[in-house]
């Protein structure tokens, strides 16, 4: 009898500017160990490594782009075949977009395309990359076209690609800062700005709603408990209706001024509560990457 835990590997590739980084971030939210731009030549050695450590590498996502070169891209395909022959669950997701959309994205972000050089302008580099990656696109389990997709919709498409086997509804709790804009793709939104703000306590300011000191401070205020219970009661009453309507995803946004203390606390608290009744509950703190810079 084989007691080795099941291991899941997702390869994310695609056209530069198509949304590969967003796709990897979405997989990270699902608990994947993510590695971007791993040289394809290292894959044959990486396979035995993750196979020997199934608990650490139960869910792995790798980003592969055109810088690997034509020869190494064939290594990727061969490695995927090796994984499937060795009892791994493996999917290849390919993210792409129209050339005009890609040109606009590179122009807006002022990023340099990885294949551009003095003798090859951006439109030609995009076309070269598409031709180079065509074998991976044909081999992909899922091709995602992101031309008319915002980052929130792209995240959902990626989640659906890898989480479709669960058969249940996925609930996404997203904390955010109102000062950085309201999320565009939420089903429910709650405003925590009415609650007392730990930001004004100097010892709590550098912490977040994940930290015990912030949680204890908030829970000492009756209004925080009242709002928490009201949201829990509301979601407990209405989420079953969404599930009965065959909804795959429900996103709950919780905002505060800076997206660091109150909204994070409530998102974590609600996720723990809903996790008692629902199998697939994800938490995403939109502003987390900026906390260390605040």
> Please, where are the H alpha helices in 56-96?
70-85
Q: What is the pLDDT of residue 69?
A: 63
3-state secondary structure of 88: coil
Q: Based on the fold, state whether residues 179 and 286 are members of the same structural domain.
A: yes
Stretch 100-112: mean pLDDT: 82
Work out the number of other CB atoms within 10 angstroms of the CB of residue 287: 20
The verdict on 14 and 137 lying in the same domain is yes
In a domain, 187, yes or no: yes
- Which DSSP category does 211 fall into? S
pLDDT at 213 over 80: yes
The first and second tokens of residue 156, run together, are: 């959902």
Mark whether 277 and 156 lie in a shared domain: no
1 within some domain: no
148 and 176 belong to one structural domain: no
Q: How many helices (H) and strands (E) does the chain have?
A: 9, 9
Instruction: Return d(Cα 99, Cα 79) in angstroms, integer.
Output: 29
Could you tell me if 152 and 272 lie in one domain? Answer: no
Q: What is the spatial distance between Cα 195 and Cα 284, in angstroms, rounded to a whole number?
A: 21
pLDDT, residue 165, reads: 47
Residue 68: pLDDT band by 50, 70, 90 thresholds?
Answer: low
Give the integer Cα–Cα distance in Å for 288 and 273.
22
Domain boundary among 150, 166, 182: 166
| pTM of this structure | 0.62
Q: What is the mean pLDDT of the chain?
A: 87
Q: Is residue 230 part of a domain?
A: yes
The pLDDT of residue 280 is above 90: no
Let me know whether 98 and 182 are in one domain: no
Position 70 scores a pLDDT of 65
Q: Among 117, 145, 166, identify where a domain stops.
A: 166
Dump pLDDT digits (tens) for 156-195: 788 878 865 455 688 989 999 999 998 877 889 999 999 9
Among 202, 42, 17, which residue's Cα sits nearest to residue 97?
Answer: 17
Residue 70 sits in the same domain as residue 190:
no
Give the bridge partners for 141, in sequence order. Answer: none
Overall number of domains in the chain? 2
Query: Range with the lowest mean pLDDT among 143-147, 243-247, 262-266?
Result: 243-247
Choose from 35-44, 116-125, 205-214, 285-294 the range with maximum mean pLDDT.
205-214
Q: Are residues 156 and 175 in the same domain?
A: no
In this prediction, residue 31 carries a pLDDT of: 81
The answer to whether residues 137 and 187 belong to one domain is: no
185 and 230 co-located in one domain: yes
Q: What is the CATH number of the domain that holds 55?
A: 3.40.50.300
Residues 174 and 153 in one domain: no
Q: Which domain holds residue 266?
A: 170-293
Q: Does a structural domain hold residue 145?
A: yes
| Domain presence at residue 2 | no
Domain end among 135, 166, 197: 166
Same domain, 245 and 121: no
d(CA 146, CA 243): 27
Q: What percent of the chain has pLDDT over 70?
A: 92
Q: Please indicate whether residue 81 or residue 244 has the higher confidence score (pLDDT).
A: 81
């Amino acid at each position: 009898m084989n007691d080795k835990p099941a291991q899941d590997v997702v390869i994310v590739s695609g056209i530069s500017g198509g949304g590969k980084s967003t796709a990897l971030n979405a997989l990270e939210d699902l608990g994947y160990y993510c590695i971007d731009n791993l040289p394809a030549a290292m894959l044959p050695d990486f396979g035995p490594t993750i196979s020997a450590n199934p608990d650490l590498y139960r869910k792995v996502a790798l980003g592969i782009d055109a810088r690997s070169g034509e020869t190494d891209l064939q290594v990727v395909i061969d490695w995927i075949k090796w994984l499937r022959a060795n009892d791994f669950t493996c999917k290849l997701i390919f993210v792409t977009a129209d050339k005009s959309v890609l040109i606009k994205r590179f122009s807006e972000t002022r990023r340099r395309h990885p294949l551009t050089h003095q003798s090859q302008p951006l439109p030609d580099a995009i076309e070269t990359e598409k031709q180079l990656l065509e074998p991976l696109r044909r081999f992909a389990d899922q091709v995602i076209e992101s031309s008319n997709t915002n980052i929130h919709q792209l995240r959902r498409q990626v989640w659906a690609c890898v989480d479709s086997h669960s058969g249940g509804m996925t609930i996404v709790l997203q904390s955010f800062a109102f000062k950085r804009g309201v999320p565009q793709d939420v089903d429910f939104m709650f405003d925590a700005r009415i609650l007392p703000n730990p930001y004004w306590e100097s010892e709590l300011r550098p912490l977040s709603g994940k930290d015990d000191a912030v949680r204890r401070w908030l829970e000492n205020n009756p209004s925080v408990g009242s709002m928490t219970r009201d949201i829990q009661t509301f979601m407990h009453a209405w989420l079953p209706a969404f599930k009965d309507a065959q909804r795959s995803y429900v996103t709950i946004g919780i905002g505060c001024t800076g997206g660091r203390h109150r909204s994070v606390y409530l998102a974590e608290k609600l996720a723990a509560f809903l996790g008692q009744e629902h199998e697939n509950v994800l938490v995403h703190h939109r502003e987390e990457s900026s906390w260390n810079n605040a």
